[in-house]
Amino acid sequence: MTTPFSQKSDDIQNGNHTLLYQTHSPFARKALVFALECGLGNRIEVIHQETSPTNRNDRVFRANPLGKVPVLILPDGMALFDSDVICEYLDSLHTSRKLIPVAGTERWQVLRLQALAQGICDAGVAYRWETNRRPENLRYPPLAEGQKTKLIEAFDYLENELDPQAPLNGGQIALATGLDWIAFRELADFRTGRPRLNQWYEDFCARPSMVQTGYSGQTHDQGQPSP
């Protein structure tokens, strides 16, 4: 990743925002794409951090007792998490049209889409544990199937319900970064047989904020990195 959000290995910068990030986290990318879409990219230093519940990262735990990224460190040192809270905060920093509408039906539609995207990522992470990350003898296939069912049901719902004409919003950012992570990890096919969702996804991925933040890297669990 290149400037203005170059990765740094040192600690918090004074007078600026610092994003504890991960190049292969859908939650972290959601926050960064949101910042870029708000025109705030040049106010944020991005620091890559590896995290896993089986591989403690002290730097991340010092900022977030859950040990997860993203975390946004504010200029006064306050640490904000999780990604949804960070997006709300970023939206409060600018005076343009809000990406999370402040009131009305639009607000609930955007927050619902954001929640659905969050659920897709949560189900994707759980599915990946059961199919890839957990040692093979500890995997539980019915749990993998249950998580995959959530993904398929969510994709079908989106094919019918997603409004491709809606103005740019935080729900879309969460969805696009989530779907692109599902594709990156090859967890489930959401494109075949879902032409509306597929077209929307392709269009959204062409935005500069998405192109600049493509996924890379592997998860580092205890033992070896997962492919």
Ligand X SMILES: N[C@@H](CCC(=O)N[C@@H](CS)C(=O)NCC(=O)O)C(=O)O
Would you tell me which residues interact with ligand X (CB under 6 A)? Answer: 22, 25, 27, 51-53, 67-70, 81-84
Cβ distance to ligand X smaller for residue 52 or 226: 52
- The CA distance from 219 to 144, in Å, is 19
Separation CA 105–CA 3 (nearest Å): 37
Query: Do the Cβ atoms of 172 and 99 come closer than 8 Å?
Result: no
Q: Which residue is nearest to ligand X (CB)?
A: 82
Element (H, E) at 60: helix 58-63
Of 84 and 91, the one with the shorter C-beta distance to ligand X is: 84
Closer to ligand X by Cβ: residue 179 or 194: 179
- The answer to whether the CB of 97 falls within 8 A of the CB of 128 is no
User: Least separation, in Å, of the C-beta of 70 and ligand X?
Assistant: 6
- Helix (H) / strand (E) element for 211: namely helix 208-211
Residue type, 72: L
**Residue 38 vs 120, nearer CB to ligand X:** 120
Nearer to ligand X, 19 or 36 (CB): 19
CA–CA separation, 69 and 131 (whole Å): 22
Strands (E), the chain: 17-21, 44-48, 71-73, 79-80, 219-220, 225-226
Beta-bridge mates of residue 20: 47, 71
Smallest distance from the beta carbon of 157 to ligand X, in angstroms? 20
Minimum CB separation from ligand X for residue 192, in Å?
A: 26
State in angstroms the smallest separation of the CB of 174 from ligand X: 9
Q: How far is the CB of 89 from ligand X (least distance, A)?
A: 13
Measured from the CB of residue 27, what is the shortest distance to ligand X in angstroms? 4
CA distances from 14 to 43, 77, 94, 171 (A): 11, 9, 21, 31
C-beta of 51 vs 172, nearer to ligand X: 51
